[in-house]
Structure 1
């Protein structure tokens, strides 16, 4: 008995074969994508914290202050977040302590940055090409190399090559006074090891240094610093990004806005010797906890200005304020490092905080409820961003928000978005 294959039957058979081919292809593709990570990492569970530390690179690392806690499993990774391992470009991990306090674990650099750094180590210290990190304990002139990095970052033409690490100004020689609290007057091999730790952080990411100079325990709006182990920093998880809070009640927005302004003022004025001008005041780098307390969490890119230096002839405008012009050929957070470093005071932090609240890029305080749209509140918010004296406007805005929060009527405003 023969079967007659009609055009319609042939078409159905062709479609069926095509479907199965695609199904088999997708199945194979999924299997490959699933089992390759298993093959590489052994399983889909987050590895123990110590595997992330790169302790074998020490003393060219950040330090070892929290290593005992990691080795004794006092701090562990969230195992259900296995995607952190597979797709974690930023090398930021989530974990918790034995007391169930959430923490963030950061390698503070991309893998490519770390590889490049390691590949240049021996050359940087004029050692043989296959030198080991321990060979660096015999290196000399580490203090000078730290100052060389700071000088490089201060004078670097960013159009040719980007800066690396912190910027200390106006004179790089002052960096050693700034670092004294970190080194704690240690001597011998321990001092050399700590000095290499500092050199590494100044090269890669100075956040652990800044967190020790500006501790949360003294009222600074930054994450609580737990310590470092190898090339891993551990800090408290201080909440969710401001960018996730667009629909919260208006009175909560006012509480948060007031703290953002206070934070900007503190970074500018609170320290008895230095001003801290942070680069990236984005809504992703300001976080809020369950008590509506605010923290600035990205302390890598910063200008540290020594405000009590004796200016030389190259700083003729030192005692003048640098006021950022809103129309100075830029938008958003762009600013001049050179101009900030040539003046004893800048409104950079104030401008940046006000931009978060009222700028062009998803401003936190907009839209303003109708009751406040045409009153003193809107006027002060605009003066904080566009006005000639942002310091005065920020202070007046803080006072006005404090007055609003004291009135029970404000708490009745829900979400305005």
Structure 2
């Protein structure tokens, strides 16, 4: 019988595996006190872990009471900080429940960026405000573009934020009014006037819009109104909570043929709904991958769980403009094995 691996190479491979395992065990022993502490302690009730100290350079505070009261806890291995180096996207699974409700539900927690991206955000804020890479963010934020829209500014206008992110690549006033009116990180939501927001709330809204507008997409196009997005729950510091949907789409690669056909059909229906709807907003997914969709375990419904890269076009504005024909070409997922070119004509 032919050997696929020479004996010496085989022994070397085993030795390397044993060395890697030994190194991991050594690390676990060296960190055993902190390992045990992180397992026992609810770090989601820690203000510094939530990076609440960085507000208003954060994503909101609407869920801080729930976090700080210990109502949100990590699931199992999520408690081990030793494994954070594997969690590049900074996405966690947790359990949330009100004591009076007598039960918990699963939620997804997101920092909306990697550690490197968040560090670059801090450096960018500091350099713009002080010219130095490190600073007090609380003092620096009022000296950035995130604070230039003060209480004297009535509306959030396209000229002020155009191009900040995919969401406002070609914004209309109607879209921006919708973002402000449905902003969930304020107690006085419902008004499209910026002056009704506190200074800290305005800065948080604009920073979210520029860094990662996913929370604003989920708030402005909520699942309660039939949009195929995960439900936004709230934020505390630099931690955002959304509803857990189910297994990601890639886990259905080996599902029965009928199930895969159903999922593919739902994806086409999502593309149609996002393009043609009664609200006259066309939403285009610019980052389409299997892990950006999830399937509900009970109803089998496909839901978008990553809405960072979504471009929104106001079809009403397009009709009113002097241009009569627009053509947007984007890639949208139409089957579980390939991607078809999807074209929308206005």
- TM-score, normalisation: structure 1: 0.63
Deviation at 1:57, TM superposition (A): 0.6
Task: State the number of aligned residues.
Answer: 306
- Where does the alignment leave 5 or more consecutive residues of structure 1 unmatched? 1-20, 154-164, 323-339, 341-345, 361-384, 392-417
Deviation at 1:132, TM superposition (A): 3.6
Map of 2:5 onto structure 1: none
Map of 2:308 onto structure 1: 300
Indicate which of 39, 61, 73 corresponds to 1:76.
73
Map of 2:111 onto structure 1: 107
1:277/1:304 contact within 8 Å kept: yes
- TM-score, normalisation: structure 2: 0.74
2:75/2:94 contact within 8 Å kept: yes
Tell me: CA distance 1:281–1:228, structure 2 relative to 1, closer, same or farther (3 Å): same
Map of 2:218 onto structure 1: 211
Indicate which of 110, 118, 138 corresponds to 1:133.
138
Alignment of 1:21-100 (within 5 A): 29-38=23-32, 43=37, 45=39, 47-51=42-46, 52-81=49-78, 82=80, 85-98=84-97, 99-100=103-104
Deviation at 1:171, TM superposition (A): 5.1
Greater strand proportion: 2
Map of 2:325 onto structure 1: 320
Counterpart secondary structure, 2:324: coil
CA–CA separation in structure 1 for the residues paired with 2:18 and 2:326: 68
Indicate which of 353, 357, 361 corresponds to 2:333.
353
Map of 1:193 onto structure 2: 200
Alignment of 1:154-165 (within 5 A): 165=165
Tell me: CA distance 1:36–1:301, structure 2 relative to 1, closer, same or farther (3 Å): farther
CA–CA separation in structure 2 for the residues paired with 1:220 and 1:22: 50
Larger Rg: 1
Tell me: CA distance 1:298–1:37, structure 2 relative to 1, closer, same or farther (3 Å): farther
Deviations 1:84-105 (A, max 9, x none): 5352111000111232321110
Indicate which of 124, 131, 141 corresponds to 2:128.
124
Tell me: CA distance 1:302–1:172, structure 2 relative to 1, closer, same or farther (3 Å): same
Tell me: CA distance 1:271–1:142, structure 2 relative to 1, closer, same or farther (3 Å): farther
Tell me: CA distance 1:151–1:245, structure 2 relative to 1, closer, same or farther (3 Å): same
Counterpart secondary structure, 2:317: coil
RMSD of equivalent CA atoms: 3.7
CA–CA separation in structure 1 for the residues paired with 2:135 and 2:115: 20
